[in-house]
Amino acid sequence: MKYRKADALIVIMGTNPFPNLVSAATRVKIDGYIYCICSEDTAGKPYEKFKNLLQNKGFKNNSGQERIKKYLLTDDEMKVKNI
């Protein structure tokens, strides 16, 4: 069975970047996009470490396009409870 990789991957950024690194390495194309959903706690050092590790492994921006993007949750989004 041959697995195909996705053009885009959405990850929820935690304080440990390892699970997201495994997902990025196995599930998204090298020229794909990764969207990181971050809280205030993970938008700094954890996100930057994740991004740097991927770029060191060859996941780089092409033609000036940012391929690893951060989405910072607002306070209202953080307060949402299970529906």
Its pTM stands at 0.82
pLDDT single digits (tens) 29-47: 988 999 999 999 999 999 9
Those residues whose C-beta lies under 8 Å from the C-beta of residue 24, and which sit 6 or more positions away, are 9, 11, 34, 54, 59
Backbone angles phi, psi at 57, to 5 degrees: -90, 5
Percent of the chain with pLDDT over 90: 49
Statement: residue 62 has pLDDT above 80:
no
**Quick one: tokens of 74?**
């607002």
Mean pLDDT to the nearest integer, 62-79: 83
